[in-house]
């Protein structure tokens, strides 16, 4: 929180997206119900995913500056540094998510399915963000160069979040793209978030989301820990 600019920028980008899709593109995108209600769960998931850029970049910087070397040469649990970073970054991510929910409310978004599902939606978005955070932590430590990390983040995070149900109904995409968009974790997470926020069947997409998220944790948490142990 010592870097106000950091929070400002991680918030400004999704706010611009909210406004852009709500008022510029939204009119041309046809969904059942209000587009702003369709949009917000997608934007929130994307916000969570993009917030992990910060994790990757910070780890790459600390690696380069020798901060990680120093911590690894100290008598402390090697898992503590990585765990601390993941917890802190996820906390920050949650703050950003809540701000974006507030912005959504200002432009007409409403939770229409009750308080508990609304809270569950925020929790799911945060757990999703934490899973993506593990991937980003791994890329940050494995690549180790700030600019490359940033470029690489764009390469996988942009397609993953845009080629999903986040902004448009998947049925409007060409068939080959639908095949990808329909079967990737971001779509499952967003569909679940939408069902939690607006009502509708939660379970089918929820269990697929949880399997995917568990898979991401199982693969990327150990990879990140290993990359940390061997850092530099």
Partner 1 sequence: MSQVNGATGRPAILVEGLTKSFGEVHALRGIDLSVPRGTVLGVLGPNGAGKTTAVRILTTLLRPDGGRAEVEGYDVVRDAAAVRRTIGLAGQSAAIQEELTGRENLEIIGRLYHLSWPRARGRATELLEQFGLSDAADRAAKNYSGGMQRRLDLAASLVGQPRVLFLDEPTTGLDPRSRLGMWDIIRSLAAGGTTLLLTTQYLDEADEIVVIDHGLVIAAGTAEELKGRVGGDVVEFTVPDRHRLADAVAAIAKIATGEGEADGQPHADPETGVIYLGVGGRGSDALIEAVRSLDGAGR
> How far is it, in rounded angstroms, from Cα 74 to Cα 119?
40
Sequence-distant (6+) residues with CB within 8 A of 74 are none
Report, in Å, the least distance between residue 5 CB and partner 1.
10
Report, in Å, the least distance between residue 177 CB and partner 1.
40
In the chain, count H helices and then E strands: 9, 0
- 3 or 83: whose CB is closer to partner 1? 3
Burial status of residue 31 (CB atoms within 10 A of its CB: 0-12, 13-18, 19 or more)? middle
Task: Reduce the DSSP state of residue 10 to 3 states and report it.
Answer: helix
Does residue 215 belong to the site contacting partner 1 (CB under 8 A)?
no
Of positions 74, 155, 171, 203, contacts partner 1 by CB under 8 A: 74
Report, in Å, the least distance between residue 62 CB and partner 1.
8
Does residue 91 belong to the site contacting partner 1 (CB under 8 A)?
no
> How far is it, in rounded angstroms, from Cα 36 to Cα 109?
6
CA distances from 99 to 11, 91, 133, 153 (A): 8, 13, 19, 23
Does residue 3 belong to the site contacting partner 1 (CB under 8 A)?
yes
Report, in Å, the least distance between residue 6 CB and partner 1.
9
Of positions 102, 204, 215, 232, contacts partner 1 by CB under 8 A: 232
Stretch that binds partner 1, among 10-18, 63-71, 183-191, 215-223 (CB under 8 A): 63-71
Report, in Å, the least distance between residue 84 CB and partner 1.
10
How many residues bind to partner 1 according to rule CB under 8 A? 15
- 86 or 100: whose CB is closer to partner 1? 86
∠ CA 155-157-161, rounded to 5°: 130
Report, in Å, the least distance between residue 71 CB and partner 1.
7
Cβ–Cβ under 8 Å, residues 6 and 53:
no
Q: How many CB atoms lie within 10 A of CB 91?
A: 11
Of positions 73, 115, 175, 203, contacts partner 1 by CB under 8 A: 73
Q: Give the residues lining the site for partner 1 (CB under 8 A).
A: 2-3, 64-67, 69-76, 232
């Amino acid at each position: 929180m010592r870097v106000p600019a950091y929070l400002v920028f991680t918030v400004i980008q999704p706010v611009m997206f909210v406004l852009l899709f709500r008022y510029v593109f939204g009119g041309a995108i046809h969904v059942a119900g209000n587009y702003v209600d369709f949009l917000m769960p997608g934007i929130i998931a994307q916000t969570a995913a993009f917030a992990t850029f910060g994790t990757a970049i910070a780890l790459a910087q600390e690696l380069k500056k020798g901060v990680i070397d120093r911590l690894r040469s100290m008598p402390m649990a090697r898992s503590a540094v990585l765990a601390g970073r993941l917890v802190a970054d996820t906390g920050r991510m949650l703050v950003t998510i809540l701000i974006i929910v507030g912005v959504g409310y200002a432009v007409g978004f409403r939770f229409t399915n009750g308080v508990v599902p609304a809270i569950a939606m925020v929790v799911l978005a945060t757990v999703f963000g934490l899973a993506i955070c593990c991937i980003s932590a791994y890329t940050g430590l494995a690549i180790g160069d700030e600019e490359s990390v940033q470029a690489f983040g764009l390469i996988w995070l942009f397609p993953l979040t845009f080629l999903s149900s986040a902004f448009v109904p998947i049925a409007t995409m060409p068939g080959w793209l639908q095949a990808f968009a329909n079967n990737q974790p971001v779509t499952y997470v967003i569909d679940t978030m939408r069902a939690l926020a607006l009502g509708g069947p939660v379970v089918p997409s929820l269990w697929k989301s949880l399997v995917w998220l568990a898979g991401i944790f199982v693969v990327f948490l150990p990879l990140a820990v290993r990359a940390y142990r061997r850092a530099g």
